[in-house]
Structure 1
Amino acid sequence: MTAAGPGAGTAVGSTATGEGNSGFTLMIALSASIGGLLYGYDTGIIGSALLYLKAPMGIADDTFMQSTVTAITLLGAIFGALLTGPVSDRIGRRPTTMLVAVLFVAFAAGCGFAPDLTTLVVMRFLLGLAVGGASQIVPVYIAELAPPRMRGAQTSLFQVMICVGTLLAYLSGHLLGPSGAWRWMLALAAVPAALFLVAMARLPESPRWLLARGREEEARAVLRRVRVSEDETEAEIAEIRATLQLEGATWKELFQPSVRPAVVAGVGVAMFSQITGISAIIYYAPSLLELSGFGASAATLGSVGVGVVLTVFTVLGIYLVEKWGRRRLVLLGLPGAVIALGLMAAMLPWSSGSAAALGSGGQAAVIICLLAYFAFNGGSLSVVAWLYFAEIFPLRLRGKGTGLTALVLWITNFLVTLLLYFAADRLGVGLVFGVLAVMNIAAWLFALRRMAETRGRTLEEIEASLDNGTFAPSATRPRA
C-alpha cells in the first residue's frame, strides 16, 4: 500500500502520472469500504447475539428491551450522521474516517465486554455514532477521489460491503451460536475496525477538501496520484472551484416550489425504503424465525441464507439499475416482495403467543419466501435509494437535499426497528408480515406516481426538469 500524505509519490507531466490509475483508486475505494463492512456487521450481528444475550441480561421476557438493545444503535446513527458532515468539513475527510474507525474499535469491544444491560445499551448507542458516521463520510471520501468515469461503480462498493458485513455477521452468529458466545459475536467487529484504521492512515486526503481550504498544491498533488494525466488533473481542479462557488444555499431554498417535487420523491423513497421492512428484518431475522417456530440453530442458518441472497441481489440490482432504470427496477421488484410477504403472512400466526404449526415443508416455504423478499426488495428499492438521493436535487442544494433524505431514512429506520419485533411478539409475526406487504404495495404506488426516472439523464437535465416543471413520472422518460 502506498505511503500516506498529500504530496507523497507524485510526479509532474502531461501524460501518465505514476500511480494515477484505476488500480490505485480501486484500492482506495476498497480500503474505505471496510467502513461499509463494519456498518453491516455491527447492525446485523445483534440479530444473532440477541438470541443468546437476552437470558443473561435478564430480558428474555421483555421484548421491548430486546428491541431497545437492537434499535439504540440506529438512534446513535442519527446523531453520527448529523455530526460527521460538520466534523469532516473542519478536520478533513480522512481524519474523520479514521475517527469513525476508532469509534468502531472502541465500542464494538465495549459491547462485547459490557458487564450489564445499561452498559450494553450505552455501548450500542455509541457504536451507532460510528455506523451513522460511516454512512455519511465513506461514500463522500470515495466519490471525491474516484475518477468521474468510475465514481458510480466505486461508490457502490460501500453498499455491497454493507451486505458482505451483514453476511459475515450471520455466519459469525451461526458458527458461535452453539457455544452461546454472544460477547465474541459483538466484539469480533473490533478486528476489521482496526484494519480499517490502519488502511485509512495510509491513504491520501480528499482533493476537494484540500482545495476548499485553499491548499491547491496539495490538492493537485493528490489528483496527480489518482488521475491519468495532467490535463485531467487541471480540469478537475477547475470543476471543483466551480462547484465550491455554488455552495452556501439556505434550507429555505430547498422547499421552494420548483424543488418540491424532488423533495417529495426523495423523502418518500427514504421513508418507504425502511417501512417496507428490509432493514428491521435484517436486524431481527434470527429472532423472527425463532418466533415462527424455528430452533436457534435453524434460525441463524436461515439468516445466513438471507445474507447470501441480499449480497447477490444487491450486486445484481446495481447492474440492473443502469440497464432498466431506477423507477422501473422498483416497479418490477416490489410486486415480488409483496407476494413473498403475503405468503409468509398466510402461513404464520396472527395473534400473540400462537405457535406456528409448521412442519419441515412449511419451514422450508417460509425460508424460501423470506429469501424471495430480500431478493425482490433488496435488489430494487434498497439499491435505488442512495443513488436516487444523489441525483434528484439541484447542484446548489444537493448537500442539503441528500442530508434531509438521509435524516428521514435514519429516523424511519430507528422507529421501525424499535417497533417491529415488539409488535411481532405481541400481535403475531404473521400480522406483522401482512402489514409489511401492505407497505410494499404503498411503496409501489408511490414509485408509480411520484418517482421521476433519472436513468440516461445528465444531472443538468434533471435539474432543468425541476426548473421547467417536468420532473414527473409522466414527463421524464429514460433514454434507450
Structure 2
Amino acid sequence: MTETLTRVQPPKVTAFSILVAVGASLGGLLYGYDTGIIGSALLFLQDDFGISDDPGLLSVITSITLLGAIFGAIGTGPLSERLGRRWTVVLVAVAFIVFAIGCGLAPNVAVLIIFRFLLGLPVGGASQIIPTYIAELAPKHVRGTQAVLFQVMICVGTLVAYATGHALGTHAAWREMLAFAAIPAVVFLIIMLMLPESPRWLILKSREDDAAQALARVRPAGYDVSAELDEIRSVSEPKTGSWRDLRTPWVRPALVAGLGVAFFSQATGISAIIYYAPSLLALAGFGTSAATLASIGVGVSLLVFTLVGMALLERLGRRQLVLWGLPGAVVVLAVLAMVLPWTAGAGAELSIGLQVLVMICLAGYFAFNGGSLSVMTWLYMAEIFPLEVRGRAVSLCAFCLWVTNFLVTLLLYFAADKLGTGLVFGVLAVVNVIAWLFVWRWVPETKGRSLEEIESSLKAGTFAPRVHIIDAPASDEIGARP
C-alpha cells in the first residue's frame, strides 16, 4: 500500500541563509583544490626532490591525501556530536590552513608525504560535517540546492587548481601551488566564526533558547520559529546516540541507502577518472598536449553539469534525478569501451573523429553521472539519518566513500595500463547499471521533506521508495503567523 505524506509550504529564503550555505561550502573549494593541485605540483617537485624515476613514490604522494581523508571522515562525526557542527567546521578550517602551509614548506619527500596525509584529515572531515551543517540550517524546500553547493565548490576548487597550476607552472613554483590553499582557508575560517550553530544540535544538547536564536537568524524577520522547533523536538531526545544505535532495525533502511549511495558514488569511477583523466587519455592514444588540454575540459564540463544537476535536484528529486541520469552514463561508457583498446600497451592511434567521440562521451559521462549521482551524494547522506546518530552515521558513510575512492583510484590507472582502457570503461558501465538497480530498489525520495519528517518515516517503517509526497495549501505553512 502506498503511503502519502503531506508537505507544507516552507518559509522564504533569507540572504543570511544563503550566506551560511555559501560560506560553509568554501570547505568544498578547499577539498577540490587540495586534491587537484598535486597533479600540477608533481611536474616540478619530482625534479627538485630527485624522484622523477620513482613512479611508485609519485603515486604515494598523490594518493596519500585520500588515505588521510578516510581517517578524517570517520573521526569528524563523533567530534561534531561533542563540540557541535560549527566548531568542528572551524577546526577543519584551521587544519586546512596549517597543513597546506606545511606542504608548501616541506624540506624533503618524507615531510611532504606526512603533510599530504595530514591534509587529508580536513578533506575527509569537510566531506562529513559541512553537508550536515548546511542541511541542518537550510529551509527544507531549498535544502537540496544549498547542500549541493558543497559539491559545486569541489568542482570550482578543481578548476582553480588547474588554473593556479598553469599560472605558477611557468615559474616551477610548486611550493606556492600547495601553500596557496591557505588563503581561501583563512577566508573560510573568518566566515565560519560569524555563522550560527546548528539549531538541531543545540536541541540535542537541551539548549532550547540558543536553538531558537540560531533558527531565527536564518529565517525571515517576524517568522515564528516555535512550530519548527516543536517539530525538531518531536523526534529529538536530549542525548547523543552511540555506534551501536546504528544497528537498530528502524535505522537500518537509512544506513543501507546511505552506505550504498556512498559506495556507488565512487565505484562508478567519477573521482578516479577526474584524477587520472590526462593519463587515461594518453593511454587511449591522445598526445600529451592534447591530453592535458582535454583535462581542463573535463573540469569545465563537470562544473557545468553539476550546476545543471543542482538546478534539477529540487524539481525532479534526488532519486528521480539519478534514475534518469545513470542510464545515459551507461550508454556513453559502453561506447568508450567499444572505441578504446582492450589490451595492454595497445598504443592505439585514434583518428581525429574518434578522439572527438571520446571527448563527447567523457563529457556525457560527467553530464549523466556527475550531474546526478555525484550531485546528490553528500546531500543525501546528510539528510536521511536521525538527529541523535547523524554525526556518526554520516561519518560511517563518508568513511565508506573515501575507502572506495582510495581503492578505485589505486586500481583504475593500473588496470587501464595493464589490461586496456576499453576494458576499464566496460567494467565501469556494468557498475553504473548495478548502481541504478540499487537506487531503484533501496533509495527513497527525500525531496521536500523536513529532516524530522524523514526521521518520523524511519520510526514508522515507511522509509521506502513507495512513499509519495503532495503539497499542502499555503495556509498550512509551518511557522506562519495567524
TM-score, normalised by the number of residues in structure 1: 0.84
Which moved further from structure 2: 268-277 or 422-431? 422-431
Measured in 2, the distance between the counterparts of 1:105 and 1:432 equals 37
Q: Which one of 111, 117, 121 corresponds to residue 113 of structure 2?
A: 121
Given that 1:111 and 1:123 are in contact with CA atoms closer than 8 Å, whether structure 2 keeps it comes out as yes
Q: Which one of 296, 317, 331 corresponds to residue 325 of structure 1?
A: 317
Give me the CA root mean square deviation: 3.1
Question: Residue 419 of structure 1 aligns with which residue?
Answer: 411
- Where 2:224 maps in the other structure, the secondary structure is helix
Matched, 1:35 2:23: no
Cα distance 1:177–1:148, how it changes in 2: closer, same or farther (>3 A)?
same
> 1:281-322 deviations in whole A, cap 9, x for unaligned?
122223323333444443332122112211121122122233
> 1:59-93 deviations in whole A, cap 9, x for unaligned?
54544433322221121112212222333344443
- Over the matched positions of the two proteins, sequence identity in percent amounts to 62
Given that 1:178 and 1:297 are in contact with CA atoms closer than 8 Å, whether structure 2 keeps it comes out as no
Given that 1:70 and 1:283 are in contact with CA atoms closer than 8 Å, whether structure 2 keeps it comes out as no
> 1:183-203 deviations in whole A, cap 9, x for unaligned?
333222122112212322333
Cα distance 1:388–1:214, how it changes in 2: closer, same or farther (>3 A)?
closer
Question: Residue 394 of structure 2 aligns with which residue?
Answer: 402
Measured in 2, the distance between the counterparts of 1:465 and 1:257 equals 13
Question: Residue 299 of structure 2 aligns with which residue?
Answer: 307
Given that 1:70 and 1:417 are in contact with CA atoms closer than 8 Å, whether structure 2 keeps it comes out as no
How far off is 1:470 after superposition?
5.6
Q: Which one of 329, 345, 349 corresponds to residue 353 of structure 1?
A: 345
Within-5 A mapping of 1:72-471: 72-210=64-202, 212-213=204-205, 216-229=208-221, 232-245=224-237, 247-394=239-386, 397-455=389-447, 471=463
> 1:11-37 deviations in whole A, cap 9, x for unaligned?
xxxxxxxxx971122223222221111
Cα distance 1:57–1:376, how it changes in 2: closer, same or farther (>3 A)?
farther
Higher relative contact order (CA 8 A, sep 6+): 2
Measured in 2, the distance between the counterparts of 1:63 and 1:352 equals 18
How far off is 1:116 after superposition?
2.6
Aligned residues: 460
Amino acid of the structure 2 residue aligned with 1:312: V
TM-score, normalised by the number of residues in structure 2: 0.84
Measured in 1, the distance between the counterparts of 2:199 and 2:319 equals 33
Which moved further from structure 2: 346-355 or 237-246? 237-246
Given that 1:48 and 1:287 are in contact with CA atoms closer than 8 Å, whether structure 2 keeps it comes out as no
Given that 1:164 and 1:311 are in contact with CA atoms closer than 8 Å, whether structure 2 keeps it comes out as yes
Cα distance 1:339–1:200, how it changes in 2: closer, same or farther (>3 A)?
same
Measured in 2, the distance between the counterparts of 1:324 and 1:119 equals 47
Given that 2:102 and 2:115 are in contact with CA atoms closer than 8 Å, whether structure 1 keeps it comes out as yes
Which moved further from structure 2: 277-286 or 371-380? 277-286
Amino acid of the structure 2 residue aligned with 1:111: C
- Where 1:356 maps in the other structure, the secondary structure is coil
How far off is 1:331 after superposition?
2.3
Given that 1:144 and 1:207 are in contact with CA atoms closer than 8 Å, whether structure 2 keeps it comes out as yes
How far off is 1:39 after superposition?
0.9
Q: Any unmatched runs of 5+ in structure 2? A: 1-11, 472-482
How far off is 1:205 after superposition?
3.9
